[in-house]
Structures are given as C-alpha cells and as structure tokens.
Amino acid sequence: MYLEISNPTTYSAGLYIRLSKEDDNEGQSQSVANQLSLLNDFVQQRGLVVYDTYIDDGWSGTSFERPGFQRLLADIEAGQVNMVITKDLSRLGRDYILTGHYMERYFPEKQVRYISLLDGIDTGVENAANEITPFRAILNDMYAKDISKKISSVKHDQQRKGLFVGGKPLYGYKMSPTEKNHIVIDEAVAPIVRRIFKLALTGMSCRQIAMQLNKEEIPTPARYANLPLQHNSPYSGRWSSERISDMLQNETYIGNMVQGRSRKVSYKSKKCVRQPKSEWIIVPETHEAIVDKAVFDKVQLLLAQRKNTRSRSYDFLLKGLIFCQECGYPLAVINRKTARGEDCLYFICRTYQRFTHSGVCTSHCVKEERVTAAVLERMTAVCAPYLQTASLLPQAQKALACYAQHSQPQQELSLLQAQLQRLRTAMDKIYWDYLSGVLEEQDFNRIYARAKAERSAVEQRVAACQACLCAAEQQDPAQELTNGFLATLSSNKELLCSLVERVELTADKQILIHFRFVQPEERP
C-alpha cells in the first residue's frame, strides 16, 4: 500500500466494508474486523477525516441494493462524502457492469475519489493499476458466478436427497427444531389445511373456499409468516382461488418433498421463473403428511373434472376495453336468464366477484348491451363531423376505379369462397379433435382463435367482392360503398380500439369513456 494523499484535509472519507457468506468461508482475512482495522490504519497514517463507516455484513457483491452501500450513496448525494475507501475492488461489488458504472461514471460525476488498498487503485492519480481495473472487475464477477454454480450444485444435491433447502416451509409446516433441513407439521395451521381439503371434498370450488376463509378472516400464508406484501391491491392479504388451487395440488401435504418449482433467471437477479412440472424435484415420503393420500387423490379427481366443465367465455365488443373505475381491474361478463328465459350478459367487477363478502369493491352489475350502446352512441357522435357522405364519396370512387383496374372480382370471389370453405372444414376438424381429447384446451383455444380470425378476414374480403359486383350493376356504386361503411361503424372493433383507449364503469353505473385523441370541446 504505497498510496499517498497530497491534500488529506480536502477529503471527507467514507469507509466501506462488505462481507458475504461466501467471503466468510475464506477465513478471517476477509472478516469485518480485519477490513475495518486495515482501513483505519490507512486513514490514520495519511491524516484523513472519516465521515462514517458503512458495513454490509452478509450481503452478496452481485447486488448493489445493500443498506450500507445505499446509505453511502445518500451521503455522497448530500455532499458529505467525497472519498470512498475499500479493502479491495471485490468489496465494492462483484458485478463488473455495475462496478464499472460506479468506477467510471458515478464517482467521477460526483467528484468522488475511490481508493482500493490491496489493488492499488486510486482514481485521484494516474497509475497502472487503474488501467487494469476493468479486468479485475470481470475476474471478481467470474468468481461470483463460479461460487453461484457451486452453491446451486450443492442445493440441487440436497434437494435430490429430500432435504429442505428453501427459505420458508410450505404453509402447514415449520422447520424442525432438532434436525437440520427437515420440516415438521405446524399444528397451529395444519387444521386449516385439512379443512381446505375437506371443503374441496364436499364439492366447493376453489373460489368458494377462498371466500369462506376470507369471510372468517383467517390469515393467509403470507400474513401468517409475516412476509411483506409485494403489491398494494385489493387482492393483497386475502385468500384467492389460485392460492387454494395450488395448495390442493401440492404433494408436500402427503409427505412428498416438492422442490425446484422455480429458479432464478441469473445469479445476478432475484427474479424467479416457474419451471414445468417435469423439472420439479419430488422425493416421496420425506416427512409426516398432513393430508391422507386417499383424500388427496379424491381431490385431484374433483379438480380434473372441474377443468373439463369450465364455463364458456363470451365475446363482446368492449372486451379488453372496459374496467372498474374503483379498483382498476377489467370487468368480466356473466350470463343470466331473463324472466322470458333468454340469455343476457351483465358486466360484473372481478374484484367483487372474488371477494364478495370483504367489501373491497361493488358489483357494477349492468347489462352489457346497455353499456355497449352508450359507448357506440358517444363514439358515433364524436365521429359524425368527420364522416360526411360528401367527403367519403371521392375516396370510394377512387377505390372502385383502382379495384376495377387491378382485379377481376368474379374470379377472386370464387377463390375466396373456396378458401372460406376450406377454413370452415378445418375449424370443424379442430373442434372435433378437441372434443375427442386429441387437442389440449390451451392448444384448441390458440388454434381456433387464429382460424376464426383468418375466417373473419376472408369473409370481409368476400363481402367486399360481392359489394363490388353488385355495385357494377347499380347506378352509383360509390354511394352504396359509402353507406355500407357508415352502417358498419357500430360493429367495427378495429375502429373502436383505434378511437377508445379505456371505458370505466363507476359504482353508480356511470360510463366514463377515455378517447385516444383530444375531443373538439376539450381543445383550447
């Protein structure tokens, strides 16, 4: 350490110390006490004034969201610290991209001098050590990556042996007080788990079970474990049908250790992605079961039967555009019979539907056709000044002339009708494949939706060709096309999405329409 400070009185130093669990395995050389002693000796020998010492004990160098480091940055922003000193570059961080950001951009912009003692790095002077700093950062990053791989390998080996290596055991279990990496039944909440399975056996749906638990104000697994809520929404802190469904299908409750359901996208990121069930690590009979296997198997049969009897989805013009004004979530539609026995669609709030007895939101129950009619009426009124027949006629005449020059309507109509027939035959086959079990429901919905969209496009082209042929026999074909365009405004989903950004339904059933453009009365 031959770093010299020519003007120590001009600096207010911040001593930064970091120690992770991996670093601790290397022995006392990386300990907090050792780093602190080394840094204090340096500043005392050179007469530097220390503003504060910042310590992150047990924090990985791949993340910069460390409390001590964030406090250091806050003091830099406040102008209290203009020199940062660490034992070596790896103490600052092991992510070479972010380390380079602070070294090459942040510290110079804030006029902060950075010193790494063992590496000989000093951004206040020109030296050879500064030139190879990027390479040191890359080596530190590679070390972190290698350590991450080794830790992952050890954890996977433990998982394959049936040992629990997660952070929090599944709801209904707790860590064994006597045996490491082993879980035991948590008798405080195990009766709730058994009751959930019992309710499922009676035929109650996952949504109904969740509503019952919310009504009784039973704490959710997250609240019971005192975990922080990730999102502040009407669903936070409440039982949901998804949570119940996941519990009812989890083999951990019959004594099988289920792990590896998700994994981190990178050793630098905390984000996890769910894994397909084929990649889960399941080890049978590793701990005491909360639910009898016969009960568990019966529940699986009930869940499988319910999947095959899902209620149909309904298509309506405002799909994807209408939301609840109170909670902000999209409105769903339900089908109810009128007094005459006719089907009638109603909008209803999803939040209210899931948590009816919790008072989170209101039903917003109103006829779909009434809301759609009001939106179309308003849209037509807004578009009326721009859709005068006189202004559309020249465009229609030009389109007809161009079409007559570059196409043969009768021949194209024959080809389109043949294509339409092939699509209808294919859709029939897809539907029968779905009914016979050849196609999964997810694949059926995707393929059928694509075929339906293609059929709709061909039908529109067929209609255009037929209109053109009819127009050729009439005195004013352009006038007919113009009138036809104006007549289809109320059912044109593409035009609706182009004009309307969002439709909101208030608690008192008022309709709020948000257009994608500034309306004439709103212009200054």
Tokens 């070596």 identify what position? 88
* Mean pLDDT (whole number) for 350-370: 73
Beta bridge partners of 336: 344
Q: What 3-state DSSP class applies to 364?
A: coil
Per-residue model confidence as pLDDT tens digits over 382-404: 766 665 555 555 665 565 555 55
- Tokens (6 digits) for 450: 């694509």
- 393/299 same-domain check: no
CA 202/CA 200 separation, integer angstroms:
5
User: What contacts 61, CB < 8 A, 6 or more positions away?
Assistant: 18, 20, 90, 91, 92, 93, 94, 95, 140, 144
- 194/141 same-domain check: no
What was the pLDDT predicted at 504? 86
Burial of 347 (0-12, 13-18, 19+ CB in 10 A): buried
Asked if pLDDT for residue 62 goes beyond 90, the answer is no
Q: In what order do the strands lie in the sheet with 366-367?
A: 331-337, 343-349, 366-367
Beta bridge partners of 105: none
Asked if pLDDT for residue 12 goes beyond 90, the answer is yes
Let me know the angle formed at the C-alpha of 82 by 76 and 86, rounded to the nearest 5 degrees: 90
- DSSP alpha helix (H) spans, 384-408: 389-406
- 201/297 same-domain check: yes
Among 302, 316, 298, CA closest to 370: 316
Beta bridge partners of 274: 262
In a domain, 258, yes or no: yes
CA 83/CA 48 separation, integer angstroms:
10
Per-residue model confidence as pLDDT tens digits over 312-358: 566 677 777 888 887 877 887 778 777 777 778 888 887 776 666 66
* Mean pLDDT (whole number) for 33-55: 91
* Mean pLDDT (whole number) for 41-51: 91
What was the pLDDT predicted at 27? 47
What was the pLDDT predicted at 54? 95
CATH of the domain at 77: 3.40.50.1390
Lowest mean pLDDT among 28-42, 167-181, 198-212, 257-271: 257-271
What was the pLDDT predicted at 11? 92
- 198/273 same-domain check: yes
For the chain, the average pLDDT equals 77
- 12/139 same-domain check: yes
What was the pLDDT predicted at 17? 93
Q: What 3-state DSSP class applies to 11?
A: coil
What was the pLDDT predicted at 53? 94
Pick from 265, 285, 307: which residue ends a domain? Answer: 307
**Residue range(s) defining the domain that contains residue 507:** 389-515
CATH of the domain at 293: 3.90.1750
Per-residue model confidence as pLDDT tens digits over 280-304: 888 898 889 999 988 898 888 777 7
- Tokens (6 digits) for 90: 């790896």
* Mean pLDDT (whole number) for 55-83: 91
Compute φ and ψ for 259, nearest 5 degrees: -140, 170
- DSSP assignment of 130-193, as one string? HHTHHHHHHHHHHHHHHHHHHHHHHHHHHHHTT---SSSPPTTEEE-SSSTT-EEE-TTTHHHH
- 233/189 same-domain check: yes
Beta bridge partners of 272: 264
Asked if pLDDT for residue 421 goes beyond 50, the answer is yes
Pick from 242, 274, 307: which residue ends a domain? Answer: 307
- 184/302 same-domain check: yes
CA 374/CA 349 separation, integer angstroms:
19
- Show the beta-strand stretches assigned E in 20-112: 49-57, 83-86
- 195/286 same-domain check: yes
Q: Which residue has the higher pLDDT, 77 or 264?
A: 77
- 98/180 same-domain check: no
CA 16/CA 39 separation, integer angstroms:
9
Among 33, 72, 36, CA closest to 51: 72
Q: Band the pLDDT of 143: cuts 50, 70, 90.
A: low
Asked if pLDDT for residue 269 goes beyond 70, the answer is no
- 119/194 same-domain check: no
Burial of 186 (0-12, 13-18, 19+ CB in 10 A): middle
Asked if pLDDT for residue 51 goes beyond 90, the answer is yes
* Mean pLDDT (whole number) for 149-175: 80
In a domain, 167, yes or no: no
In a domain, 411, yes or no: yes
Helix or strand run (H / E) with residue 290: none
* Mean pLDDT (whole number) for 267-281: 74
User: What contacts 164, CB < 8 A, 6 or more positions away?
Assistant: 175, 181, 182, 183, 257, 259
What is the identity of the amino acid at 182? H
In a domain, 187, yes or no: yes
Helix or strand run (H / E) with residue 349: strand 343-349
In the chain, the number of structural domains is 3
In a domain, 312, yes or no: no
Among 313, 332, 315, 310, CA closest to 453: 315
What was the pLDDT predicted at 297? 87
The number of residues in the chain equals 524
Q: What 3-state DSSP class applies to 344?
A: strand
CA 251/CA 280 separation, integer angstroms:
11
Per-residue model confidence as pLDDT tens digits over 434-489: 777 777 877 778 887 888 888 888 888 877 777 766 655 544 554 554 455 555 55
Asked if pLDDT for residue 159 goes beyond 50, the answer is yes
In a domain, 74, yes or no: yes
What was the pLDDT predicted at 475? 43
